[in-house]
Amino acid sequence: MDFTFPEDVRHFRSELRNFLDKAWPPDMRRFAMNDSVVRDLDSDPATSFKRALGRAGYLGIGLPQEYGGRPGGTLHRFVLQSELAAAGAPLNATAIGIVAPMLVRYGQESLTRQLVPGITRGELDFALGYTESNAGSDLASLQTQARLDGDRYVISGEKVFSTAAHIADYYWVAARTEKTDKKHQGISLFVVPLDAPGISISPLYTMSGIRTNVVHIDNVEVPVDHRVGDEGEGWRIIGEALDGERFAVMMVAPVIRAYQAVLEYCRCATRAGKRLLDDHAVASELVVLHSAIVAAYLNSVGIAWGTDRGESGSHDASALKVEVTELRLALSTFALDVLGTHGQLTPEDKAAPAFGELERMYRHAVITLFTGGANAVQRDLIARHGLGLGRQM
């Protein structure tokens, strides 16, 4: 297989790199790692950068031009997210990777025209309202209710682990509109303004230090045209959109950046008068990790290419999600073993190797095993939809 990008994708990557050199230069990339700009999406640098991306047309890839989009496919989006990740640049991918494509495909025209241009300009952000206390990996067990009352829906429930809900403008909410025998049925999707009466947001911090939120939805009213798709069609749309979320989670670029930091540390650091890189056990593990990273990168390119050609299925996204997130955990575990006590220094400590990125990566790596669907569930999807086997859980 020829993994060379087509000419238009190579041109796009060159154009994007030139943009990043000016809009997110190397000094900002160091600042991002050391001062957590990537985690603080409401910071001034992150907000300015997001709007610069919008002005340059990078937030509307593959969307109709009437909504501020530009031509491009999955390979272009892959290059965008990879280059941003490699540069340590901030991006909340929910709006551009999940919401905008689904609104264009399934949203009512009035709502699509109201929201998508703001997304492509970098002016509007969304948070996901899927997970509940008893509906995480088993999302179909969600209990949030949406009741039709005339020309409006009244929504009530509680969502957890809603990243960016405290800074986003809108909430992409899955709610039950009908009680059915099969729990995957009767679920619908809604767009809810996060400043609507009845919305209250409380912080919920993860072990990585990233803030997520508990969102209480108390009899919140939204117009009928804020429903996305038909009633009961939510589960199918969620499944389609989750492939986009998994593609964001499984970006290899942050793993490559972390690997390079570990490799550089092993080149420079000494132990018992010998470079770490000259230690056979260390060098052997670095070779194994390098091979795994190359394989994951080639797999991700192949899936992006296959998606544009209609040849990749959702089980491929699941497989790559498992591969990359477990590789991220393996690399960060190895990194902290090699760094020893220095590996425990957080990004706030100026003496931390690689600006503390490796320590933060270790704490975040555990979370990615569950983000976008737990890896155990992904293996079940791979078994059933990819290999034609029976349910494994």
Q: Is the CB of residue 33 less than 8 Å from the CB of residue 254?
A: no
**What are the structure tokens assigned to 11, written together?**
């041109």
Please report, as a single letter, which amino acid is at residue 144.
T
Which helix H or strand E contains 273, and what residues bound it? none
Look up residue 355 and give its two tokens: 């600006």
Sign of torsion over alpha carbons 81, 83, 84, 85: positive
Position 345 scores a pLDDT of: 86
Nearest partner of 188 among 136, 145, 125, 124, judged by Cα: 145
User: What pLDDT was estimated at residue 114?
Assistant: 97
| Architecture in CATH of 127-232 | Beta Barrel (2.40)
In this prediction, residue 34 carries a pLDDT of: 37
Instruction: Tell me what pLDDT residue 31 has.
Output: 43
Asked if residues 216 and 158 have their Cβ atoms less than 8 Å apart, the reply is yes
Q: Where are the domains of the chain?
A: 7-91, 127-232, 250-386
Q: Of 224, 273, 250, 262, which Cα lies nearest the Cα of 342?
A: 262
Amino acid 241: pLDDT: 82
Question: What Å distances lie between residue 235 and 57, 73, 184, 293, CA to CA?
Answer: 31, 24, 6, 33
Burial of 197 (0-12, 13-18, 19+ CB in 10 A): exposed
CB atoms within 10 A of CB 340: 10
Length, in residues, of the chain: 393
- The tokens for 279 are 């230690």
The confidence score (pLDDT) of residue 392 equals 57
Q: Which amino acid is at 39?
A: R
* CATH top-level class of 250-386: mainly alpha
The strand ranges marked E within 236-301 are 270-271, 274-275
d(CA 221, CA 156): 9
| Residues marked as catalytic | 245
Query: What is the rounded end-to-end Cα distance, in angstroms, of the chain?
Result: 35
What is the per-residue pLDDT for 181?
83
Q: Which residues contact 307 (CB under 8 A, 6 or more apart)?
A: 73, 74
Three-class secondary structure assignment of 31-95: HHHHHCCCCCCCCHHHHHHHHHHHHCCCCCECCCHHHCCECCCHHHHHHHHHHHHHCCCCCCHHH
> Closest by alpha carbon to 226, among 94, 126, 372, 92?
126
Structure confidence at residue 243 (pLDDT): 63
Give the C-alpha separation, 315 to 332, whole Å: 26
Helices 314-339, 253-268: crossing angle, 10 deg rounding = 20
Token reading at 90: 């901030």
Q: Give the per-residue pLDDT at 145.
A: 97
Q: What is the mean pLDDT of each run of 10 residues along the chain (393 residues)?
A: 84 96 80 42 77 94 95 91 86 88 96 97 95 87 96 97 94 95 92 98 90 96 97 92 61 87 90 91 96 94 84 82 93 92 84 81 88 85 85 60
The Cα–Cα gap between 195 and 340 comes to: 46
DSSP state of 200: E
Which distant-in-sequence residues (6+ apart) come within 8 Å of 388 by Cβ?
Answer: none
How many whole angstroms separate alpha carbon 330 and alpha carbon 206? 20
Give residue 39's pLDDT: 45
Phi-psi region of 192 (alpha: psi -120 to 50; beta: other; left: phi over 0): beta
